[in-house]
Amino acid sequence: MSLFSAMPVALPENSAGLIVDATGLVKRYGTSMAMDGIALQVCPGEIYGLIGPDGAGKSSLLKAVAGVLAHDAGDLRVFGCLLDSEKACEQIKDRIGLMPQGLGQNLYGDLSVEENIDYFGGLRLLSREELSTRKEALLRSTRLERFRDRPMKNLSGGMKQKLGLVCTLIHEPKLVILDEPTTGVDPVSRREFWSILSRLLKEKGITALVSTAYMDEASRFNRVSLMHAGKILASGDPEQIKSMALGCVISTACVDPAQQMMAVRRLSAQFPQMEVLGQEMRIFVDQADTGAASIAVQQCLHEIPQSATEVLEPELEDVFIALLRQRKLSGDAPATSDEKDTAPHRQADNGPAIEAENLTRTFGEFKAVDQVSFTVPQGEIFGLLGANGAGKSTVIKMLTGILSQTDGKGRVAGADMRTAGLKIRERIGYMSQAFSLYLDLTVLENIRLYAGIYGLTRQQTAERMDWILDMAGLRPFGKALAASLPMGLRQRLALGCALIHRPQVLFLDEPTSGVDPLGRRAFWEVLFRLSREENVTILVTTHYMSEAEHCDHIALMYAGRVVADASPDQLKLDVERQAGKLFEIHTAQAQQALDQLQAAGFTSAALFGARIHVLLTDPERDLPRVQAALSDMAIDKIVPKRLSMEDVFVHIVTRLEAADALVRGEQS
């Protein structure tokens, strides 16, 4: 049996007249196989998701379906039309809307919101009346009405993607193809984007084929395919996929945080798949018996006291990684500390590593950062979160000396950022949002270049180069050009170069944006070991709320200000006290159920694929009200759920946005 064989999955009831029907699809780029015998069927009216690491073939498959990329072998039918020539491809393009990867990549920066829409309407030969009617409806649906005169280049990431969606849907296509539409978009905008898309698709009867780098978004799709190395690893609805990997997740935490590193070493030696989220350790155990799995974890940690052990339902990301691992497709992981011959170099603990006191930065009349204050102890992983434009990158640039502050004070690694100059640069490492190394240099050449910049001796360079190659899992790629590396390996190379001079403090500005799940986990394992073993302080910004769980402490920024400052667990407790406990509703009529709940006053209700999430302030009182609001439909079950950091982020930011909107309304 092939490594990629998966159980046959029944098509949905609406499978008659498939929108997309691919069999044995092949696409090569030289010696690289982008699609290797792909089979895919997309049914009318569904949202179908493609998930996989960089280079899995997702974008090639989407372009082939859109008729803009020729395949080398196999059959591909879209709307029943065999795409075997340019002429055939032209016959389907008027029924397709394609939104390429990248924020605003299908838009024009100097044109306003309305001008972009008018341009795309003209390309699609819409009449003036059709264009006007559809434009106004889509502007209302996406809440872009009051921004119609703003140039596209001045929009936030989330607004760019909403405008891109409007321009993609303006001609009311029968199939919309979206290539990672929410990469680099903050959680509030992501939720809003999916809510808008789901509603518009249902209203117009449109089918969607979507790729995503966010595993948690799979819950919003009717069916998904997990892709790897040009092949489909597994297909089905999200619940079917979760059952394909044998195993369960055990969550535990040490009573004494100082023993966490010892516990991690023990668990890693016995269980090949685990991750650390702050003080919590999540272990995927390759057996379905949850009782036996819990006992196996407890026996592994027999004399290390645990504060809590809990059995969790595996997330899709857990299953995806387990499938790759169980089928021996996950590749080599970076070396762990146990594999190194030398003991880690531990940074001295000389008080707070970062101190920000009323930091302020203005650009003309715009206040990008407004009296931001926080303190980060040595060795802590500190998360700086916020929506696009919240001021996170500006704070990092001030603390690293790249940008001067308008007001306030800051100290990094004991040096005053206003006067230290070179002293700060010698004590910090910095990774910007964009890949900042030289693509036309090899891995080894990039490392040597940074060693020279920081004045390392030949012996120091050789020692640190060995460490970087092992730490980042780059030893097989030493002579490869940086341009040829997948995004995950590029980012680990950039991390290694930022660490070559053994900095006390490491600043990472959205380091894993666009990196696949395997790459992100490997990256965070490295960060955890740097923090715990070498006492390196790490300040990180991220749009992946699952990554925020890795942080020891979090400051949440909104409109240039810090609006929450606590550990992830404390933030969750605070939101639970304010907004209530999270419940998940399982029903086959999810959209109708959502509409009825919101009409009944449950404003926090949000759609997650075939499920609904809702916050209940008093479950004993509110659960009967929920059941009454949904009394005319079949409800499979209502179950309590853990709050995630995304739930926390969305709750806080949505509340602040509502307060700002109220102030704007009173002022007008």
CATH 3.30.70.250, the chain: domain bounds: 570-667
Q: Mean pLDDT throughout 613-635?
A: 92
Distance CA 214, CA 197 (A): 16
Q: Using the 8-state DSSP alphabet, how is residue 605 labeled?
A: -
Partners of 430 in the beta sheet?
507
Q: Mean pLDDT throughout 501-527?
A: 82
The residue written with tokens 């270049």 in the block is 449
Q: Please report the pLDDT score of residue 11 as a whole number.
A: 59
Q: With 80 as the cut, is the pLDDT of residue 558 above it? A: yes
Q: With 80 as the cut, is the pLDDT of residue 331 above it? A: no
| Token pair listed for 424 | 């700060």
Query: Closest Cα to residue 250, out of 229, 271, 236, 234?
Result: 271
Q: What pTM did the predictor assign?
A: 0.80
626 versus 160: the higher-pLDDT residue is 626
Beta strand pairing status for 537-541 and 381-386? parallel
Q: With 70 as the cut, is the pLDDT of residue 596 above it? A: yes
The residue written with tokens 């059995």 in the block is 311
Q: Which residues contact 140 (CB under 8 A, 6 or more apart)?
A: none
- CATH fold of 248-313, please? Alpha-Beta Plaits (3.30.70)
247 versus 65: the higher-pLDDT residue is 65
Distance CA 137, CA 143 (A): 10
Mean pLDDT, all residues of the chain: 86
Q: Mean pLDDT throughout 521-539?
A: 89
User: Do residues 57 and 69 make contact, with C-beta atoms less than 8 angstroms apart?
Assistant: no
Q: Please report the pLDDT score of residue 339 as a whole number.
A: 43
- Work out the number of other CB atoms within 10 angstroms of the CB of residue 315: 19
Q: Lowest-confidence range among 192-206, 361-375, 628-642?
A: 192-206
Q: With 70 as the cut, is the pLDDT of residue 10 above it? A: no
pLDDT in tens, 402-433: 888 999 999 998 888 777 666 777 888 888 87
Q: Choose the most confident range, by mean pLDDT, from 165-179, 411-425, 596-610.
A: 165-179
Q: Indicate if the alpha-carbon torsion angle 603, 606, 611, 617 is positive or negative.
A: negative
pLDDT band at 514 (very low <50, low <70, confident <90, very high): low
pLDDT in tens, 265-312: 999 999 999 999 888 999 999 987 899 999 999 999 988 999 888 998
User: Do residues 545 and 553 make contact, with C-beta atoms less than 8 angstroms apart?
Assistant: no
- CATH fold of 354-566, please? Rossmann fold (3.40.50)
Distance CA 128, CA 133 (A): 9
Q: Choose the most confident range, by mean pLDDT, from 95-104, 196-205, 330-339, 499-508.
A: 499-508
CATH number of 570-667: 3.30.70.250
| Token pair listed for 482 | 């940086």
pLDDT band at 667 (very low <50, low <70, confident <90, very high): low
Q: For helices 443-453 and 487-498, give the axis angle rounded to 10 degrees.
A: 20
Q: Lowest-confidence range among 108-117, 238-247, 299-308?
A: 238-247
CATH 3.40.50.300, the chain: domain bounds: 20-238, 354-566
pLDDT band at 35 (very low <50, low <70, confident <90, very high): very high
Q: Using the 8-state DSSP alphabet, how is residue 183 labeled?
A: T
| Token pair listed for 154 | 């001045």
pLDDT in tens, 63-90: 999 999 999 999 999 999 999 999 999 9
Distance CA 431, CA 655 (A): 32
Distance CA 178, CA 210 (A): 5
User: Do residues 162 and 138 make contact, with C-beta atoms less than 8 angstroms apart?
Assistant: no
Distance CA 574, CA 434 (A): 34
Distance CA 585, CA 564 (A): 29
Q: Which CATH class is domain 20-238?
A: alpha beta
